[in-house]
Amino acid sequence: MQRFRCDRMLARLGRFLRAAGYDTEIADDGADDRDLVARAASEARVLLTCDRAIAQHAAARGAVILPANGVDAQARALAGALDIDWEMAPFTRCLIDNARLRTARADEIARLPARSRQLGGPFRVCPACARLYWPGSHVRRMRARLARWSTEIRDT
């Protein structure tokens, strides 16, 4: 499975890649271009960037340059460049820190508001940051967008 490193300009796309189930690191605000390229290479990650100067580094072979004009255009361009399945393993990674989510225990689910618990799950938790995930409106909107991107890929 492909693994990614996004430059800071692609942080939003990076979170959608995580939502789709891809192991995706997002560069810190102050990341130096050389460090970004070197780290992607050392971790065997595909470098995703909007910065053509980054792609000029010799070690950046295989980097994918994406447009800077919005996440929908970036998702389409990435799917055109690589074999991306936007519905591969939805919501199996933390959107914040990229850790693999695990099924939430009853005591963790109990922390949710009653209204959220009534949605019926699945309820997942990040083992690194303890963030809880459930099928609320935010997740439904993100799933709908991932599904739309998948449909666009199949229709082209």
User: What three-state secondary structure class fits 6?
Assistant: strand
Predicted pLDDT at 32:
80
pLDDT tens readout for residues 28-86: 877 788 888 888 889 999 999 988 777 676 566 778 999 988 999 999 999 999 989 99
CB 93 within 8 A of CB 18: yes
pLDDT tens readout for residues 116-149: 888 888 999 999 999 999 988 888 999 999 999 9
Predicted pLDDT at 6:
94
Mean pLDDT of the chain: 90
Please list the residues that pair with 124 across neighbouring strands.
103, 133
Predicted pLDDT at 156:
58
Predicted pLDDT at 44:
92
Predicted pLDDT at 3:
97
pLDDT at 154 over 90: no
DSSP string, 17-30: HHHHT-EEEE--TT
Predicted pLDDT at 41:
87
